[in-house]
Structure 1
Amino acid sequence: MYSTASESVAADERHRGAESPTSPEKGGPAPAAEGQSETFREAESTTRQRVLQLVVEEGPISAAALGRELKLTAAAVRRHLDAMTEQGILEVKNVTTRRRGAGRPSRRYVVSERGQRSLGDDYLGLVQTALSMLQSASAPSAEDSLVAEPTPETARGLAREYFAGFEQRWERQLEGVSDLDARTDKLSQLFAEDGFAGFTRLVGRDNPLLAMQSTQLCQGHCPIREIAAAHPVFCEEETDMISRLLDVDVRRLSTQAAGAHVCTTHVPVGREKLAAEQRARAAASAEAEQQISAGAGATNESRPASGGRKRIVISPRQQERLS
């Protein structure tokens, strides 16, 4: 997926070149066989792809956290991180936390602008859609349409057309998935398959309040981030598409077009589950009341109607006592 992996491996080999003599004349080990060298490069490339993928999904992330996730030593992880940082694929963010104390920043790695570009952009499909819309639009001339600044309505229409293709395909693949958690996870997989590096994060799942539990639908890569930065309606239309596909109101927390490292959409899973439970309880209560009312109606129908006030019969002895 990442075209920069092989370049990173080459840079890594250059780093080790001075430290690993391979010439027999210097008393070092004999050169490795060509097949072994190729196998090593493939293994290094695969590991580097895994490191880059995790930075895309979890960044900003530390080398220690990467090592734990990938089950690699700190030295192995830093070798890959240093090589990709030197190439400009990654960049370092110094973060100061309360636990570490002031003046002792922790190094966190994120994907740089160059790294985002290396992951691929989807401008071809967008340009094709734009040309189709411009051809069908009523304009004084085709040349004027191509050079004119697009109006907000034109940009929104273009964004809607661009995401319509994704929505139609993904809606079919989401059929039959009713659980909101499972549906959100499936949508993240569909985002990943189409180059958006989709994944999910579970939030507040240990909170006793069900309404506070949620899922974050994340995208580690935005193929049209530069266009979305110039025209935020693309982010708005994408958010609306997510809401329709999940059949729930969602809220956008961050976008790469606005400078964030990950596009994040808040999905109120707990709130929807709580609402569903409340609806189920209300329906069960209404049904129970209906059954009680029906039973009471049948009992009243079986009683003879006395009509008017209730008649009290008093015996002669009771009359003497009352008098």
Structure 2
Amino acid sequence: MYSPASESAAAAPASPEVDAAEPGAPAEVIREAESTTRQRVLQLVVEEGPISAAALGDQLQLTAAAVRRHLDAMTEQGILEVKNVTTRRRGAGRPSRRYVVSQRGQRTMGDDYLGLVKTALGLLEEGPAAPEAEISAAAGLAREYFSDFERRWEPELSAIEDLDARTERLSELFNEAGFAGFTRLVGRDNPLLAMQSTQLCQGHCPIREIAAAHPVFCEEETDVISRLLDVDVRRLSTQAAGAHVCTTHVPVGREKLAAEQRARAAASAEAELQISAADGATHRSRKVSGGRKRIVISPRQQERLS
């Protein structure tokens, strides 16, 4: 299974000399340095792919030659694959080489078929489903598989009010569970709040082959994400459908805008209640002070009365 240990290595300060061992250094030190750097390169390809060697070098503060050595090695091993991308800026020139994790690389990061088999066996031991439960075997297995994550994560996530913070924490939980979770912020410089969002990404799918055969697994996972974040989400891509990363759109800006509108509506309603209460009090005081009616009599009427 994918291990988040490489993430902590990627977070450590990078040095241009990290990939080069000291002259005369022991072979074990050289191998450890190579392994650590390669893990950091792989982690960035998982999170940022398709990504170029130049971009990797900039982020890791390594020379282009050092980065390409690791990329070439992992490409030869079948862990990475190259995608040639032609951009408008490059025009009709040579396409840019971008790297993504291959299907074989996904397998080397680990699968969770053992956990899935255990879940399936548990359902079989419970006996056949009730006649009224008209769901397929795959749908029932998917629901049971992801419900375990939901039960474990829901108490912690429900205590986080801010949607941005809740989404970030969910990505960390996915990462710890072997899904290589991370987030990307989208449209944060857009003046329109409703256009701002977060992409919840999973660079690895431990059950991608089963999900490819049974898309209901992706559907159930999306429903679980929606319930855990307490917001409607939209799936943009899945590895089961051929993408290099699973991406879920979280409408953070739209939810913040809706919350602001609800707050303004509540404040306006409260202000109207206060105004109505004040008007009612003034009206009551006028009735009390003006309860006796004043009668005006003309001089001729006074003569008649006298």
Give TM-score scaled by structure 2 length: 0.85
1:67 pairs with one of 54, 57, 74: 57
Aligned to 1:239: 222
Q: Aligned to 1:68, what secondary structure does the other structure show?
A: helix
- Identical pairs, percent: 82
Aligned to 1:319: none
Structure-to-structure mapping, 1:299-318, within 5 angstroms: 299-304=282-287
Aligned to 1:116: 106
5+ unaligned residues in a row in structure 2: which ranges? 4-22, 300-306
Change (3 A) 1:286 1:2: closer
Q: What letter matches 1:119 in structure 2?
A: M
2:43 pairs with one of 53, 57, 65: 53
1:126 pairs with one of 101, 110, 116: 116
What's the offset of the Cα at 1:175? 4.0
What's the offset of the Cα at 1:172? 2.5
1:256 pairs with one of 239, 257, 271: 239
Q: Aligned to 1:215, what secondary structure does the other structure show?
A: strand
What's the offset of the Cα at 1:37? 1.3
Change (3 A) 1:107 1:289: same
Aligned to 1:192: 175
CA deviation digits over 1:9-62, x for unaligned, max 9?
xxxxxxxxxxxxxxxxxxxxxxx76x6211111011000000001101111100
Aligned to 2:96: 106
Change (3 A) 1:178 1:315: same
Aligned to 2:126: 136
Q: What letter matches 1:89 in structure 2?
A: I
Q: What letter matches 2:195 in structure 1?
A: M
What's the offset of the Cα at 1:153? 1.6
Q: What letter matches 2:119 in structure 1?
A: T
Cα pair 2:38 2:70 within 8 Å, conserved: yes
CA deviation digits over 1:148-199, x for unaligned, max 9?
xxx9621111001001111111112324211000000000000000100000
What's the offset of the Cα at 1:217? 0.1
Task: Give the RMSD, CA atoms, in angstroms.
Answer: 2.2
Aligned to 1:17: none
Cα pair 1:2 1:49 within 8 Å, conserved: no
1:167 pairs with one of 125, 144, 150: 150
Aligned to 2:272: 289
Change (3 A) 1:251 1:313: farther
What's the offset of the Cα at 1:120? 0.1
Identify the structure with bigger relative contact order (alpha carbons < 8 Å, sequence gap 6+).
2
What's the offset of the Cα at 1:137? 2.8
CA deviation digits over 1:235-259, x for unaligned, max 9?
0000000001000000000000000
Change (3 A) 1:314 1:154: farther
Instruction: Figure out how many residues of one structure are paired with residues of the other and give that number.
Output: 274
> Whole-Å Cα distance in 2 between the matches of residues 209 and 251 of structure 1?
20
2:262 pairs with one of 266, 279, 282: 279
Give TM-score scaled by structure 1 length: 0.80
